[in-house]
Amino acid sequence: MSDLTRLTAFEIASAVASGEASAVEVAQAHLDRIAAVDDMVHAFLHVDSAGALAAAARVDAARAAGEALGPLAGVPLALKDVFTMSGVPTTCGSKILEGWRPPYDATVTRRLKEAGVVILGKTNMDEFAMGSSTENSAYGPTRNPWDLDRVPGGSGGGSSAAVASFMAPLGIGTDTGGSIRQPAAVTGTVGAKPTYGGVSRYGLIAFSSSLDQGGPCARTVLDAALLHEVIAGHDVMDSTSISAPVPPVVAAARAADVSGMRIGVVREFSGEGYQPGVETRFREAVAVLESLGASVSEVSCPHFTYALPAYYLIAPSECSSNLARFDGMRFGLRVGDDGTRDAEQVMSLTRDAGFGDEVKRRIILGTFALSSGYYDAYYGQAQKVRTLITRDFERAFESVDVLVSMTTPTTAFRIGERADDPMAMYLADLCTIPSNLSGGAAMSVPCGLSPDDGLPVGLQIMAPALADDRMYRVAAAYEAASGGPLTREVPAL
């Protein structure tokens, strides 16, 4: 067959199932591609060639034995380094976990393996998923395949860059404030944050537990939906996992029909701070949806403008508690344990050496926001704002089926451009954070290249909790009308 790395996940699975290509051939083609271009992109922190080829061989053997194959059997995937994978280094982009090999699989990892998905390796990310550019990785930044001087977004920039540069047709990300959708937008790929609780968090190293959610990265909407159905569903190992049927996202992606749907454009997300070219492409996308038979109206969600400050109290508060487990005793790094120091000193030296600046900033901020005397004023107040944002969504969904906005206010920025300005970095998630706070589903689908800089723009579609299928329906309809996946235009590396 021609270049196997150019196929979609759906096409690869079909080729493997029919015997047109073997899973081993497919895995090898992707490993070769990684060897050829990842020096430039740096999407992977660890490539598990032997594990990938062995998993692929198992799929080929199962086929030869006449066993039924799952819908993604033999398809390679890039796994964000925030999910544990038994025996394979898992760092979360942090020095503090360097050398740690988890003794167990995350539920997401286990489901991928059981489905015959071929895990190629672990992808780069902002340390503990805190960031919007992948520059906060302790292992150096990932580069955007559209322009190697630019960031691929974050925190899951590694998975999105791997998918955009044809090193893998599928990736897994996690989205606490936008870390699947924002990288998808700026790399011209598809990324979905399922309803909170839709995908198990067991084995997902926690950043902010009430917000973290795993989800799919892909080049097409159908591929994202196929992966979504493989990883989603109730899990007794995660007490926040929803015990309800997985929304029929694959059927919705196949239906790709928006006629009669009511689409609301969020009024608050436009104007100052939004790149004109991004806004242009967004307005055009809305017009396309209207031409496909959707009814479009403007909807006000007045509290969305407070989402960012609320998030930057809630997420650091939860992270200050979650990251307390990295104490130099149980996992990874231990500094200064030479017999002259007590446990507290070793803990303090380890955390000082092991955590980067952004992680420290958030632990300090979160510890302060939770401290006695300030708890109500900061954390408590932020939780009230969270309720108001959820109510904005509820009110909006009384009159529309989905909400849409730009995924990010700008296209990919240059490496280093925002590195010393946390506020500028935080603004990248202005439009994505509300869905994390409400727990609803949201995704990003490419909507062309910005006329001002030629870089990818994302259309965000937000749906109510457990109505993930609605957003796939809209995304697939838009993708079909816009001429198919945008990654067909990625410059050759």
Residues that bind ligand GLN (CB under 6 A): 129-132, 155, 175-179, 207, 315, 429
Token pair, residue 60, equals 């080929």
Strand partners, 76: 118
CA dihedral 308, 183, 88, 10 (to 10 degrees): 130
Return the active site residues: 80, 155, 179
The rounded distance, in Å, linking the Cα atoms of 136 and 479 is 32
Task: Select 159 or 350, whichever has its Cβ closest to ligand GLN.
Answer: 159
In the complex, least distance from residue 235 CB atom to ligand GLN, rounded to whole angstroms: 20
Environment class of 273 (CB within 10 Å of its CB; exposed 0-12, middle 13-18, buried 19+): exposed
In the complex, least distance from residue 181 CB atom to ligand GLN, rounded to whole angstroms: 9
Contact 436, 178 (CB under 8 A): yes
Task: Select 234 or 361, whichever has its Cβ closest to ligand GLN.
Answer: 361
In the complex, least distance from residue 425 CB atom to ligand GLN, rounded to whole angstroms: 7
In the complex, least distance from residue 104 CB atom to ligand GLN, rounded to whole angstroms: 22
Contact 233, 220 (CB under 8 A): no
CA dihedral for 94, 98, 102, 105, sign (positive or negative): positive
Task: Select 132 or 320, whichever has its Cβ closest to ligand GLN.
Answer: 132
Task: Select 131 or 141, whichever has its Cβ closest to ligand GLN.
Answer: 131
In the complex, least distance from residue 74 CB atom to ligand GLN, rounded to whole angstroms: 30
Task: Convert 278-314 into a string of H (helix), E (strand) and C (coil).
Answer: HHHHHHHHHHHHHHCCCEEEEECCHHHHHHHHHHHHH
Task: Select 130 or 172, whichever has its Cβ closest to ligand GLN.
Answer: 130
In the complex, least distance from residue 438 CB atom to ligand GLN, rounded to whole angstroms: 15
* Residue among 453, 355, 415, 459 nearest 161 (CA): 415
| DSSP 8-state secondary structure symbol assigned to residue 170 | E
User: What does 2-17 look like in DSSP terms, one character per residue?
Assistant: --GGGS-HHHHHHHHH
Task: Select 11 or 429, whichever has its Cβ closest to ligand GLN.
Answer: 429
Token pair, residue 315, equals 């997420």
* 144, 146, 148, 259 from 490: Cα distances, Å: 10, 6, 12, 31
Three-state DSSP class for 239? coil
